Amino acid sequence: MTLGRALSIFGGSTPISNHMTEYSSDSFFGSDSAALQRFEQMIGNNDSYFFDVEELEAISEHYFGNGQHEKARKAIDYGLQLYPDCNALLLKKAQALLIGSKPRKAMRILDFLEASEPGNTELLLFKAVVHRNLSDHEGTKACLMKALNSTTENQEEIFLDLAFEQEMVNDYKGAIKSLKQSLRINPEYEPCLFELAYCYEMADEIEEGIEFFKQFLDHQPYSYVAWYNLAICYDRLGLWELAINAVEYSLAIQEDFTNAHILRGNLFGNCDKDALAIEAYRESLIYDEQNPMVYSAIGECYERLGASAQAEINYLRALSIDNDYADALMGMGAVREGEGKLSEALEYYQKALESDDGNIDIAHIYCETLVKMGMLTEARTRYLEMTERFVDDEESWIALAALEHELQGASVAVHILQLAMEHIPQSTDLVWHLIKYLCLDGKKVQAEELLSSSLQFQPKKAEYLKEIFPEVIEFSNLAAWLQGLQSEGEHEL
């Protein structure tokens, strides 16, 4: 039994598996439910009957399996009255305590049991569950390591559980080692392969991931998961042609691999091959026709191809599956905006924002639409909220400064950007926007001083200033600075 199975069996807060185990009572009650009926009768009559310990274990497991936790607790407590030294019933008592949100009491029982059975793998894995419920990651890992030393069975699954625990504390390099160890035991254990690609990305070791999967494929050339992971790694590095080649190998081995079809569509989209992307996405729908993400992606492809009617059909299809799907709502908003129907577009953007209110990109598009509609005061209110919620987002501060300039003047814009720089001192773009508004506020000396110091550290940004503030040429001193810098650059060439 692994931690995933233990979570299910022993009432973890997030069960990973629903597999049957040696504790399942299905076989016991499949042929003879007399013991269960007798126990129900005993409870109803408030009486005391005799049961074998195995009967009481099966009865409690039956109740656990049906979510009747109070009856399970009664069966366990009654069993412990008859068999107070039964470790199996004590283990189930710990299970009942964990389900009853009493993990520390459960742990006391488990400590007692481990002292008498230090090599009990099942016990150790359940103890790992309780440590996890207590947010004791080190305790969880320690129990998993003990479990690995106590058994030779299902070690690949226990190593995967260990990797999950390492991920929870952002130890992705450690997780990679555990996953590799799992694959050494069982190279065909696909859950580990899937998890490896994620860990390589989170550890920022994409190149190492490519090397691993290439070497893995030298020995396991028909692993469709490894080809898929190799494609993901290539994708992360922008090597899209190599990624397409790898994902097509994956599909040649496993034709009904839906995620690979979707990845292939994404890759064609990245290469501006939208017609091929649509074809790949549609192939994925053969195996999963109720995927709003795919219909939304097809809509985006048609939108880029200028086929807004087809884009709308696919966005609406996505919304018929999930009427709160944010990408499709944004797509419909873009279609309506392209038709000049800003009010309708705004309604879609607002619904998308309600559906995914933590999405800063949606928030920006919504606010930009408010500005286009002349609803500047409302846009200002929204940007103020965004700068409070996403304090490190430069774009929100810059947009708010632009609105304040229009509504209240350049001095307020200057104040906004100075406040922004207190929150994001490492930002360079804020500095150039501040120079712009200092000029517009008539504070030329401050603007010149800031420009002078900024050009020393980032001379190439001068072009950015001219891009955001073409009027800079009207300020003679600043224009001279920029012209001199441009001349130096041409001389170097």
Q: Quick one: pLDDT at residue 483?
A: 61
pLDDT(59) > 60: yes
Average pLDDT over residues 318-346: 97
pLDDT(404) > 90: yes
Average pLDDT over residues 61-78: 89
Kindly state whether residues 81 and 3 are assigned to the same domain. Answer: yes
Report how far Cα 69 is from the mean position of its chain's Cα atoms.
33
Kindly state whether residues 127 and 192 are assigned to the same domain. Answer: no
Give the number of domains in the chain. Answer: 3
**Interatomic CA distance for residues 266 and 42, integer angstroms:** 62
pLDDT(394) > 80: yes
**Interatomic CA distance for residues 218 and 261, integer angstroms:** 23
pTM of the model: 0.79
In a domain, residue 8? The reply is: yes
Confidence band of 117 (pLDDT split at 50, 70, 90): confident
pLDDT(84) > 50: yes
3-state DSSP assignment of residue 170 = coil
Per the CB < 8 A criterion, the answer to whether 29 and 152 are in contact is no
Tell me which of 215-219, 224-228, 461-465 is least confident: 461-465
Amino acid at 396: S
**Interatomic CA distance for residues 159 and 180, integer angstroms:** 9
Rg (CA), the chain: 31
**Interatomic CA distance for residues 117 and 79, integer angstroms:** 20
As a residue count, the chain comes to 493
Average pLDDT over residues 459-488: 69
In a domain, residue 319? The reply is: no
Q: Quick one: pLDDT at residue 32?
A: 46
Q: Quick one: pLDDT at residue 23?
A: 30
CA distances from 8 to 18, 65, 134 (A): 6, 10, 17
Kindly state whether residues 3 and 93 are assigned to the same domain. Answer: yes
Q: Quick one: pLDDT at residue 66?
A: 86
Kindly state whether residues 169 and 121 are assigned to the same domain. Answer: no
**Interatomic CA distance for residues 384 and 139, integer angstroms:** 44
Q: Quick one: pLDDT at residue 121?
A: 87
Domain extent, residue 448, equals: 390-493
Q: Quick one: pLDDT at residue 26?
A: 41
**What is the percent of the chain with per-residue pLDDT over 70, rounded to a whole number?**
89
Q: Quick one: pLDDT at residue 97?
A: 86
**Interatomic CA distance for residues 395 and 364, integer angstroms:** 8
Per the CB < 8 A criterion, the answer to whether 129 and 110 are in contact is no
Neighbouring C-beta atoms of residue 205, cutoff 10 Å: 17
Tokens, residue 430: 């804020």
Mean of all residue pLDDT scores within the chain = 88
Average pLDDT over residues 274-281: 98
- Taking phi over 0 as left and psi of -120 to 50 as alpha, with beta for the rest, 83 belongs to beta
Q: Quick one: pLDDT at residue 251?
A: 98
Q: What is the CATH number of the domain that holds 460?
A: 1.25.40
Kindly state whether residues 125 and 28 are assigned to the same domain. Answer: yes
pLDDT(87) > 60: yes
Kindly state whether residues 47 and 117 are assigned to the same domain. Answer: yes
Kindly tell me the sign of the dihedral angle through the C-alpha atoms of 135, 141, 142, 146. Answer: positive
Per the CB < 8 A criterion, the answer to whether 191 and 210 are in contact is no
Q: Quick one: pLDDT at residue 477?
A: 64
Tokens, residue 263: 């990845």
In a domain, residue 417? The reply is: yes
Average pLDDT over residues 332-346: 97
Confidence band of 479 (pLDDT split at 50, 70, 90): low
pLDDT(6) > 70: no
Average pLDDT over residues 30-44: 78
Q: Quick one: pLDDT at residue 101?
A: 87
Q: Which of 341, 333, 336, 325 has the alpha carbon at shortest distance from 366?
A: 333
Confidence band of 459 (pLDDT split at 50, 70, 90): low
Amino acid at 148: L
User: Which residue has 């597999």 as its token pair?
Assistant: 19
Kindly state whether residues 131 and 159 are assigned to the same domain. Answer: no
- DSSP-assigned letters across all residues of 5-61: HHHHHTT-SS-------TT--HHHHHH--HHHHHHHHHHHHT------HHHHHHHHH
**Interatomic CA distance for residues 452 and 454, integer angstroms:** 5
**Interatomic CA distance for residues 355 and 366, integer angstroms:** 13
Q: Quick one: pLDDT at residue 11?
A: 40
Q: Quick one: pLDDT at residue 469?
A: 85
Q: Quick one: pLDDT at residue 114?
A: 83
Kindly state whether residues 128 and 185 are assigned to the same domain. Answer: no
In a domain, residue 194? The reply is: yes
**What is the percent of the chain with per-residue pLDDT over 90, rounded to a whole number?**
61
In a domain, residue 224? The reply is: no
In a domain, residue 338? The reply is: no
34: which residues sit within 8 A by CB, 6+ positions away?
none
Q: What are the tens digits of pLDDT across the range 176-193?
A: 999 999 999 999 999 999
Average pLDDT over residues 202-218: 97
Q: What are the tens digits of pLDDT across the range 230-271?
A: 999 999 999 999 999 999 999 999 999 999 999 999 999 999
Confidence band of 18 (pLDDT split at 50, 70, 90): very low
Kindly state whether residues 132 and 159 are assigned to the same domain. Answer: no
Q: Quick one: pLDDT at residue 20?
A: 25
Q: What are the tens digits of pLDDT across the range 425-452?
A: 989 899 999 999 999 999 988 988 888 8
Confidence band of 458 (pLDDT split at 50, 70, 90): confident
Q: What are the tens digits of pLDDT across the range 356-390?
A: 989 999 999 999 999 999 999 999 999 999 999 99
Q: Is 14 exposed, middle or buried (0-12, 13-18, 19+ CB in 10 A)?
A: exposed
In a domain, residue 277? The reply is: no
Q: Which of 185, 264, 184 has the alpha carbon at shortest distance from 224?
A: 264
Kindly state whether residues 122 and 198 are assigned to the same domain. Answer: no
In a domain, residue 365? The reply is: no
pLDDT(60) > 80: yes
Kindly state whether residues 1 and 128 are assigned to the same domain. Answer: yes
Q: What is the CATH number of the domain that holds 130?
A: 1.25.40.10
